[in-house]
Amino acid sequence: MHGSHAMNKNRDLDLLDRLADAASDAILPHFRKLPGVVNKAETGFDPVTIADRNAELAMRELLAAERPDDAIFGEEYDAVAGTSGRTWILDPIDGTRGFMSGLPTWGVLIALADESGPTLGMMCQPYVGERFVGGAEGATLTHNGETQPLRTRPCADLAEAVLASTGPQHFEPQDYAAFQQVATRCRLVRYGTDCYAYAMLAAGQIDVVVEAGLKPVDIAPFVPIIEAAGGALVDWSGQRIGPTLPHGFAGQVVAVGDPTLLDAVLAALRAA
C-alpha cells in the first residue's frame, strides 16, 4: 500500500473512532433514563429519541469540521451533498425499540462509501463497549481495549444454521411467508436482535440473517464488516447490496457467514 493511501486509511479509521466516541457521549446519558419517545411515522410506530438526534448532530458537526467535502447521508436529518465522491452514512441508534426498552441490542452504525459502495464500516455498542469494524484491511472486534480478528464460521447445511431477524412484524405478509420458508429449514431462529445479528454473524455466532424493509443506514456498515470477515451480503435476488448504497437499495437483505449457504437460503425464499 502506498504511503499516502495508507495515511488516508488511517485517518479514516481514526475519524471513525472519534465519530463513535461523539455519538456514544451523546447517547449514554439517556440510556435507561429516557424522558420520552417521539413517533415519527404517520402510520404505525417508528420511534426516535433525543439520544438519536443528539448523536447524529454530534457526528455531523465533527464531519463538517474535518471532512467538509464529503457527503453525509443520515437517519434523522437531511442529506448533505459533497464534492469528494465519498459519503458518510450514519444511523445514530439502530434498534431504537431496544434502546427505549433498556436492552443493549442497539448500536451506532457508521459507514464510509464511495462510488462502489461502503468500503469502511463500524457498529459501536457503547454500553457493552464493543466496536465491530470492517474494511479493506480486514474485520476486527475491539472490547475492553483488546482487538481481535472477526471471522464468520463454516456452516454448509441450512439445517444446522442459526437464523436471526429483527421480528416478524417488520415483514410484509408475502415477505414473511418467504422468510418462514427459510426459518423452517434452520435449527434455531432468534428475533429482536437488530444490528447485533449482523455483528454476531461476522463474529461466527450466527449463520444467517434475513430481513426486509430496511433503510440504507441500517445495513451500510455491515457490507465491509461481513465481507471482510468472510461472509456475503446480498438482496433477495442474490445481488450484492454494496453497490446499491445509499441510493438504490430496495430494503431486502440476506447475510450469510458461510457463502456456500447462500444458494440454499435464496432457493428457500423463492419457494414461498
- 78 is annotated as contributing to ligand binding: no
Q: Are 199 and 140 in contact (CB under 8 A)?
A: no
Task: Write out the H or E segment, with its range, that includes residue 222.
Answer: helix 222-229
Q: Is 12 annotated as a binding residue?
A: no
| Cβ count within 10 A of residue 156 | 12
Hey, is 166 helix, strand or coil? coil
CA distances from 270 to 173, 236, 255, 264 (A): 14, 9, 16, 10
Question: What phi and psi, each to the nearest 5 degrees, are found at residue 22?
Answer: -65, -45
Binding residue per annotation — 75?
Answer: yes
Calpha distance 12→184 (Å, rounded): 42
Q: Is 218 annotated as a binding residue?
A: yes
Query: Annotated binding residue at 93?
Result: yes
Distance CA 110, CA 122 (A): 5
Amino acid (one-letter) located at 212: A
Distance between CA 123 and CA 94 in Å, rounded?
A: 9
> What is the distance between the alpha carbons of residues 128 and 60, in angstroms, rounded to a whole number?
24
Q: Which helix (H) or strand (E) holds 19?
A: helix 3-27
CB 17 within 8 A of CB 121: no
* Residues of the binding site: 75, 91, 93-94, 218
Binding site for Mg(2+): which residues? 75, 91, 93-94, 218
